Amino acid sequence: MVRYARALLALAIPAFVLLSLQVGDVHAQGKKASKEGTTKAVFENDKLKSWEVTYKPGQGSSMQDRPGRLVHCISGGTMQRTYEDGKKSNQVWKAGETKWLEPSTFTNTNVGKTNVRLLIVQPK
């Protein structure tokens, strides 16, 4: 009986450790997802698509290739870009300004204290 209990315990401990690691990974993925900004489709046809994105302080977007696009700022703030090579730069947005952004690859993070709302128009 004692042997059986020890064998069961020997199997239960590693199983518990593995389960704990898996739960931790799922929890971390949930946190990562909550750091993404909110995107809302505005318009799309065969020539272009547009969407509005809102970044609360601390939120951002993942590393991705971004084609050339027109960006209009609805609510301003400071977004920090991190490029593939690790370099960082701040993009300060002022409400009402519109910019053409050339194609690039980077992550984006709202490093300010206010929500940043952008309207993005991208040719297809």
Predicted local confidence at residue 68, as pLDDT? 97
Together in a domain, 76 and 24? no
pLDDT above 80: residue 3: no
- For residue 79, is pLDDT > 80? yes
Strand 104-110 vs strand 69-75: parallel, antiparallel, or unpaired? unpaired
Domain count within the chain = 2
Same domain, 46 and 13: no
Distance, in Å, from the CA atom of 116 to the CA atom of 59, rounded to the nearest integer, reads 10
Q: Which helix (H) or strand (E) holds 105?
A: strand 104-110
Q: 13 with 46, same domain?
A: no
Q: What is the pLDDT of residues 81-109, one digit of tens each?
A: 999 999 999 999 999 999 999 999 999 99
CA distance 26 to 33: 11
Same domain, 14 and 41: no
Q: Are residues 77 and 44 in the same domain?
A: yes
Please give the residue range of the domain that contains residue 27. Answer: 1-34
pLDDT tens digit string along 9-59? 444 444 343 333 343 444 344 334 348 999 999 999 999 999 999 999 999
Number of CB atoms found within 10 A of residue 117's CB: 19
Q: Is 67 helix (H, G, I), strand (E, B) or coil?
A: coil
